[in-house]
Amino acid sequence: MITLGHYLVVSGMLFALGLAGVIARRNIIIVYMCLEMMLSAANLALVGFSRFHLVNGLPDYTAQSLVFFTITVAAAEVAVGLAIIVALFRSKQSVDVESVTKLQG
Amino acid sequence: MPPLLFYLFALITLGFGFMVVTGRNPVTCALSLAASFVGLAALFLSLDAYFIGTVQILVYAGAVMVLFLFIIMLLDIKSEEGKKLNLPAIVSGVLLAVLLSLQIIAVVSGTDIAKKSAENTPLALAEAAGKIGKAALPTITNDLETGTLPDAKLIGFTLFDQYGFHLQVVGLLLLVGTIGVVVLSKRERSAP
């Protein structure tokens, strides 16, 4: 029997994978992919809670509206982030996070 | 959803997610991420969230992944096979991920709300049709009475009934994002 706990554990493990990627990887594009994974993991937790918190016998659609907003914001974030990566690549000829050290004291 | 399918799609989501984190070639990572999102969309479908599952495929596996692949190919990024690994960062990343997973498992296994399942909290479509009654559009109540879940209609109703202002703010955010991308990708004049 699949419970809400199963979905929450999958969501948590996906988030943890994304977090490990953001910390360990040095390629900015892959760091961005891991950020997307973390956002999707949060979406999975939200949809899980929405399904198992019934309002009038239906899933709680407030949570799914929040997921809709999250997906919109994530799409905007990817567009702007990738434009920043392209601008960075133009000035540094590299997508390694360690090539960007101008703000280092 | 049969438990076997849940485990299959959870394995697809987490397995390809693992390949995104460990892959050395950016194109492999991007394609693994697309596969991971397809598995995640299947999990959304298993939670009766058909609209969100479809949007996940369209927006993430479609638009966002094409954007990633486009940038990877535009910048002609080599795979990092020759580079040495950043050992302290990898150790701390893995440690943090393991600790977070263990903590989430501990919290989830100790709460009662996590024991809810599709069997003990079934959707009550016919009752819902009576309860929401006049508050909803007739098309929603008709669907509920015939025993189908009008998922997209209910999300749309919630969005435009309760969150109209927020929807407009998000639209503005997309506009600002579009303008930002155009400004960022404009080639600067080289300094004399």
Residue of B nearest to A62 (CA): B158
The shortest C-alpha distance from A104 to chain B (Å) reads: 18
Please tell me if residue B5 touches chain A, with a CB cutoff of 8 Å.
Answer: no
Long-range contacts, A94-98 (Cβ 8 Å, 24+): A95/A27, A95/A28, A95/A29, A95/B75, A95/B77, A96/A26, A96/A27, A96/A28, A97/A26, A97/A27, A97/A28, A97/A31, A98/A26
Most confident of B58-67, B76-85, B145-154: B58-67
Domain range for residue A8? Answer: 4-96
Residue of B nearest to A23 (CA): B93
In a domain, residue A105? The reply is: no
Task: Examine the pLDDT at B189 and tell me if it is beyond 70.
Answer: no
Please tell me if residue A58 touches chain B, with a CB cutoff of 8 Å.
Answer: yes
Contact (CB<8Å) B26/A29: yes
Taking residues B91-111, what's their average pLDDT?
Answer: 92
Taking residues B25-45, what's their average pLDDT?
Answer: 93
Q: What is the pLDDT of residue A45?
A: 94
Please tell me if residue B116 touches chain A, with a CB cutoff of 8 Å.
Answer: yes
In a domain, residue A49? The reply is: yes
Question: Domain count of chain A?
Answer: 1
Dmax (CA) for chain A in angstroms is: 57
Q: What is the pLDDT of residue B115?
A: 83
Q: What is the pLDDT of residue B140?
A: 82
Taking residues B64-82, what's their average pLDDT?
Answer: 82
The CATH number covering residue A24 comes to: 1.10.287.3510
Q: What is the pLDDT of residue A2?
A: 87
In a domain, residue A104? The reply is: no
Cβ neighbors of B121 (< 8 A, separation 6 or more) are A52, A54
Q: What is the pLDDT of residue B23?
A: 87
Domain coordinates in residue numbering, chain B: 1-78, 122-186
The shortest C-alpha distance from A39 to chain B (Å) reads: 11
In a domain, residue A88? The reply is: yes
Taking residues B149-167, what's their average pLDDT?
Answer: 90
Predicted confidence band of residue B184 (pLDDT cuts 50, 70, 90): confident
Q: What is the pLDDT of residue B191?
A: 55
The shortest C-alpha distance from B67 to chain A (Å) reads: 8
Q: What is the pLDDT of residue B133?
A: 66
Taking residues B172-189, what's their average pLDDT?
Answer: 88
Predicted confidence band of residue B95 (pLDDT cuts 50, 70, 90): very high
Helix (H, G, I), strand (E, B) or coil at A104: coil
DSSP A51-73: HHS-BTTB--HHHHHHHHHHHHH
Q: What is the pLDDT of residue B118?
A: 78
Q: What is the pLDDT of residue B80?
A: 63
Taking residues A36-55, what's their average pLDDT?
Answer: 92
The ipTM estimated for the assembled molecules is 0.91
Q: Give per-residue pLDDT as tens, B120-149.
A: 778 877 777 777 766 677 888 888 888 788
**Mean of per-residue pLDDT scores for chain B:** 87
Please tell me if residue B118 touches chain A, with a CB cutoff of 8 Å.
Answer: yes
Q: What percent of chain A has pLDDT over 90?
A: 60
Q: Say if domain B1-78 classifies as CATH 1.20.120.1200.
A: yes
Q: What is the pLDDT of residue A55?
A: 83
Predicted confidence band of residue B110 (pLDDT cuts 50, 70, 90): confident
Name the DSSP letter for residue B187. P
Predicted confidence band of residue B20 (pLDDT cuts 50, 70, 90): very high
